[in-house]
Amino acid sequence: MNDTWTKQRLLILILVFFITGLWDIVLRAMAEGKIAFLGIEKMKWVTVLKQYFDKHTVLSAALLAGFVGAIAYFIIISVTSYFNITNGLLILLVVFLISGLIGFPMRYSGLFPILYQHYYKPLGLFYSFITDAMSGVVVLLTLVCLGWIGQKINIIT
């Protein structure tokens, strides 16, 4: 293991897996009409997922999301370390771009036919890129908030 993959970053990788999976469960609840928040539940990118979630258990969809989030985090850390990116706004941009780009193999590989049919196809390329990218930003902001809370109560070192 090189300097890029420290113990702290590996622990954060696991945390990203869980954060992404938990947000997927929240998204499912919105798509199923169980949670309403600022009208987000009525947006197309949420409503099209109802049929996707109908074909997956809560655990299977959350695990898939968690794995994708962990893969994105791995790529993000690799890129930011390689290019020595430390500026917060640039990190945000990298998270946005990589999270959006992660959707391309999911869309075109044929490995996720249900996701393609019920998410990527109805949303189109641009809209699904933006929603994938913003999902990464939501996970980043959640991670930042947890880090801030952890510092305040001295849990996370």
**Any idea where the domains of the chain sit in the sequence?**
7-150
This prediction's pTM: 0.90
The pLDDT tens digits of the residues spanning 116-135 come to 999 999 999 999 999 999 99
Q: Above 70 in pLDDT, residue 70? A: yes
Q: Above 80 in pLDDT, residue 155? A: no
The pLDDT assigned to 4 comes to 83
Quote the CA–CA distance of 117 and 156 in Å, as a whole number. 40
User: For residues 29 and 35, is the Cβ–Cβ distance under 8 A?
Assistant: yes
Quote the CA–CA distance of 55 and 47 in Å, as a whole number. 14
Q: Above 70 in pLDDT, residue 102? A: yes
**Lowest-confidence pick of 36-40, 80-84, 88-92, 149-153:** 149-153
The pLDDT assigned to 121 comes to 96
Q: Above 80 in pLDDT, residue 152? A: no
The pLDDT assigned to 156 comes to 52
